[in-house]
Amino acid sequence: MREKFWSPRPEVLAYVSGLIRPGARVLEIGPGTIPFAKATHFVDRFKRSPSCDVVDVCREPLPYADKSFDFIYCRHVVEDLYNPFLLLREMSRVGKAGYIETPSPICELSRNVDGGAPVWRGYHHHRYIVWVSGDVLGLVEKSPLVEHLTLPDHTKELEEHAFLRNTYFLWKNEIRFRHFEHDLHFQLYADYGPFLLAAMKAARQSIAAFERTVMLSASAGEARR
């Protein structure tokens, strides 16, 4: 893939920022090198700023009181974690609302999307494939088997329609999520491929709905200027 889309999409960033009232307490999980401008507090593995608390979110609870943040912003973190479920529960505990973004199944199952790993599917270091179905965040382990399944490749489509590269999830009060596990929800060798195809189909629907909302908001903003 010639163009990479690792930075936040400007229209999505503007839309999410517009949901946050002035003076809100906003926590960002994993700011990395591109911190969220609306954030007032940060959590990361490293001390990136005076307002950043160092927390191992796979093992440690967030060091904040229940519902102490108005909004939590978490972009491209969940898919990296070996235990994302503690963090999801902790964000629900300390936050009143928030936004989660990850690569989409469409991206994670296509080739030539990751720098330095052009022949592998998706991002070679990611542990989970994440999508939205209704108001539920779905997670399934990204097994090495994805490299051997017969799946459609959407590299060209992702170049032409970059919105499809991400999963976008807004939540309020609590994060509803479901962890899908092999042998419990599907048989790895027999059903993993069809399961992933179903996840991609659900992802397309949720992405299309979110994109319509974002673009309508952007159009309304232009009309008011």
53 assigned to some structural domain: yes
Q: Given this model, what pLDDT does residue 50 score?
A: 83
1 assigned to some structural domain: no
Q: Which of 106, 51, 100, 55 is nearest to 77 (CA)?
A: 100
Residue range 30-42, pLDDT digits in tens: 998 889 999 999 9
Residue range 191-210, pLDDT digits in tens: 999 999 999 999 999 999 99
Token output for 22 = 């002035």
Q: Are 123 and 113 in contact (CB under 8 A)?
A: yes
CATH number assigned to the domain comprising residue 22:
3.40.50
Domain residue limits at 80: 10-218
206 assigned to some structural domain: yes
Count of domains forming the chain: 1
* CA 189 from centre of chain: 26
Alpha helices in the chain (DSSP H): 10-18, 84-94, 105-108, 155-160, 188-224
81 assigned to some structural domain: yes
Token output for 210 = 């979110």
4 assigned to some structural domain: no
128 assigned to some structural domain: yes
149 assigned to some structural domain: yes
223 assigned to some structural domain: no
DSSP-derived secondary structure letter, 147: G
